[in-house]
Amino acid sequence: MSSLTLKAPAKINLFLNILKKREDGYHDIFTLMQKISLYDTLTFFKINEGIVLKTYNTRLPLDRRNLVYQAAELILKEGKIDQGVKIILKKKIPISSGLGGGSSDSASTLLGLNRIYNLNYPPKKLHPLAEKLGSDVPFFLYDQTAIAEGRGERITPVKIFKDYWIILITFPFQVLTSWAYQDIRLNLTTKKDFINIQNLQKKEGFFEVLNFWRNDFEGKIAERYPQVRYALKLLLKLGAKKSSMTGSGPTVYGIFEQEPNKEEVNKLFKSGDWQVFITRPIP
C-alpha cells in the first residue's frame, strides 16, 4: 500500500465534568464523548524521506507546530521507519472550536501510517503515542463513543443510543483552554450514578438522562460571550431536546429526535456570525 485516505471525525461532549486540579497542572475530568459525521480528510503517501504536510487552510502551520506533523514523527520513529510520508489535509472541522479536529487529525495520522507501513499496532500500542500529542487524542483511536477520565487519556468505549440529529453552531472566535480552566468551579463528585450504560442504549433511557448532563465550562463561557447563550436558546426554540456546549467551547449543539428542517434552521440562524452544521452520531 503506497497511499491511503482516512476520514477524521469531529466529536461532541455529551457531558463534561471537571473534578479536581492535579499535581501535574492538568485537571481530572469525567466526560462522555461521541464521534459525529463532520470530518476532516487526510491522504497519506509514502515518500523516500522526510515529512511533507500540505493543506489549503492558511491558518495551519506545516511544520512541528502542527499535531499531524508531530504524530507522523512519533510513529515513524516508533516503527523505526527509514522512509517518510506526504500528508494532504483537507479541513472541514472548524479550528479551535471544541470539536476535537486537531486531535482527530493527529490520531488519524497514527492510524494511517500504522496501516501504510504495515506496522499492525493495535490501539493499545498507539495509545502512549496519542497521549504525548494531547489529552483528547487517545479517544479518536477507539470506537465511536467513550467515557474519558483522568486528563482525558483513560478511555472506556461504550454503546449508547445514537438515532438522533445534531445541529452545531460554531463561532468566529476562539476560547483559550488555559483561560477556561482558570478559576473554574470544580465538580467535587463524579456523576457516575446517572451513567447506567444499559439504559443509555435505549431511546427512552437516553433522553431521560440527557437534560441532567452538563458541561462545567458552559456557564463561564456563556457569561463572557453572550452569543453563546443566545445560540443555546435558539436551538431550544427550534425544538432541541437539549442544547449544550462541547469541550471548552465555543461551539454549541442541539440534539433533536427528528431531522431538522434545513429551511427553518437557515432562517433562524441566518443573522449570526456563525457556521451551522447538521450532523449525526457515527453509527
> 18 has which bridge partners?
29
Residue 136 annotated in active site: yes
* Residue 221: partners with Cβ closer than 8 Å, 6 or more residues away: 175, 180, 228, 245, 248, 249, 250
- 218's grid cell: 458552559
pLDDT higher than threshold 70 for residue 61: yes
Identified catalytic residue from 11, 35, 91, 220: 11
* Residue 112: partners with Cβ closer than 8 Å, 6 or more residues away: 4, 6, 42, 44, 87
The pTM of the full predicted model, rounded to 2 decimals, is 0.94
Residue % of the chain over a pLDDT of 70: 96
Angle at 117 between CA 114 and CA 119, to 5 degrees: 55
* Residue 73: partners with Cβ closer than 8 Å, 6 or more residues away: 51, 64
- 114's grid cell: 500504522
Look up the CATH number of domain 165-279. 3.30.70.890
Residue 11 annotated in active site: yes
What is the reported pLDDT for 253?
98
What is the reported pLDDT for 27?
87
Mean of pLDDT values over 171-190: 80
pLDDT digits (tens, 9 = 90+) for 199-216: 788 999 999 889 889 999
Instruction: Tell me which residue of 70, 112, 84 sits closest to 62, measured CA to CA.
Output: 70
pLDDT higher than threshold 60 for residue 178: yes
Right CATH for 3-157 from 3.30.465.10, 3.30.230.10, 3.65.10.10, 3.40.50.2300: 3.30.230.10
What is the reported pLDDT for 12?
98
Domains of the chain by residue range: 3-157, 165-279
Cα–Cα distance, 59 to 86 (Å, whole number): 19
Identified catalytic residue from 28, 136, 216, 220: 136
What is the reported pLDDT for 200?
87
Mean of pLDDT values over 241-251: 95
What is the reported pLDDT for 223?
93
